[in-house]
Amino acid sequence: MTTETVAHAERFDHWAHEMSRVFGGLDSRPASHGPFHGKASSDALGRLHLASIDAGPLTVRRTDRLAARHEEDHYKVALQVAGTCVVEQDGVSGELAPGDIAICDTSRPYTFTYGTDFRTVLMMLPRPMLAVRPEAMRALTARRIGTDGGVGAVMGTFLRSLSAQSRACSDVAALSLMDGAVSLVTALVSEELAGSAPTAPQEAMMLRIRTYIENRLAHPDLAPDSIAEAHGISRRYLFKLFAAEDLTVAAWIRTRRLERCARDLASPASAEQPISMIAARWGLLDCRHFSRVFKAAYGETPRDYRRRALAGAAARL
C-alpha cells in the first residue's frame, strides 16, 4: 500500500484507514503539517503477521475502546530500522533508535510516536503462542530492547531478513519460519526478563515449565507426573501454578499439540502423510480421540480441515 497514488489532501485519511484495517483498530494522527507520505507491505507467516512500514511523522494509538473491539490479542514486536520512536504502554515509555526493539500487548492501550520520517518492521504474534504469562510480560512491554548483543542481535537480523524475503518463501517454509520466529521471541523475552527486576518464583517456574512442554510435545508420555518430577516440584504444586491462569496442565498440552497438528495438516509438504501419522508425530496416538478433540477445538474434522486448508493454499498459487 502506498499513498503516492492518492491526492495530497486525502493521503493521511487513506493511510489511517488502511493501517487500522490491517492491524485491527488503530487511531492514527499526523505529526507534521506537510504533505504525508507512506508505504507499507504486509504478509502472513502462518499465524503471524509481518509488515514493513516507511512513512512520515505520525502518532499511532490503540485506545481502550479499540482494544475491546477485537477478540484475538497479540504481542506487537517492533524493530526500528530508521528514524526514532517513543513507545508507551501502562505508564512506561521507551525511546527507540535505529536497531532497537520494543514489544507491546495489543489487549491494552499503547502509543507509538514517530517524530520524523521512519522505517519499521512489525510482527504481530498471537498471545497464546508465547510461553510467557501476560502478567510477566508487563515487566517488559514498551521498554527498549537493544540489538547490539545476545538474542536481541539475532532477533534484529532475523526480522530485517524476514521482512525482505517473506514473500519469496513457500507456504511450507513459512510454517517453519513461524516456529523459528516464536522461538526467537520467547528466547528474547526470557533473556530480558532474566536481566531485569527479579521475577516472581512462580512466574519463573511457569516459564521453565511451558518451555519444557513446548520442547517435548512429540513425546507421548508427556504428563503432569513427568513434568513435576523434571522440575523438582509436586504434582499438586504444578496444578496450582496452572490453576492461577485458569488452565489445566492437560488442557495446555492438548492445545499446543492440536496447534502443531493443525499446522501440519495445512501444509502441502505433509499432504501425502496419513492424518494418524501427523497426530502421532505430536504425541496423539489414539486416532479416534484425536479426531474428537480436534473437531471440538476447530469446529471440523481433521480431514475436512486439511481439505479446506490445502484448497486455499492451492488457490493462492
Residue 150 shares a structural domain with residue 219: no
CATH of the domain at 302: 1.10.10.60
Residue 205 shares a structural domain with residue 147: no
Q: Which domain holds residue 280?
A: 201-316
276 located within any domain = yes
Residue 46 shares a structural domain with residue 122: yes
Residue 303 shares a structural domain with residue 244: yes
C-alpha distances (whole Å) from 219 to each of 232, 235, 274 are 20, 19, 19
pTM tops 0.75: no
Strands 74-82 and 118-126, sheet pairing? antiparallel
Residue 71 has pLDDT above 80, yes or no: no
CATH of the domain at 102: 2.60.120.10
User: Which letter does DSSP use for residue 90 in this model?
Assistant: T
pLDDT tens readout for residues 302-311? 999 999 888 8
pLDDT tens readout for residues 256-279? 899 889 988 988 878 889 999 999
CA atoms of 279 and 52, how far apart (whole Å): 36
Q: Pick from 126, 159, 192: which residue ends a domain?
A: 159
Total number of domains constituting the chain: 2
82 CB neighbour count, 10 Å cutoff: 13
182 located within any domain = no
Instruction: Give me the residues paired with residue 62 across strands.
Output: 110
The pLDDT-based confidence of 227 (bands split at 50, 70, 90) is: very high
174 located within any domain = no
The number of C-alpha atoms within 13 Å of 300 and in the hemisphere containing its C-beta is: 10
Strands 92-96 and 85-89, sheet pairing? antiparallel
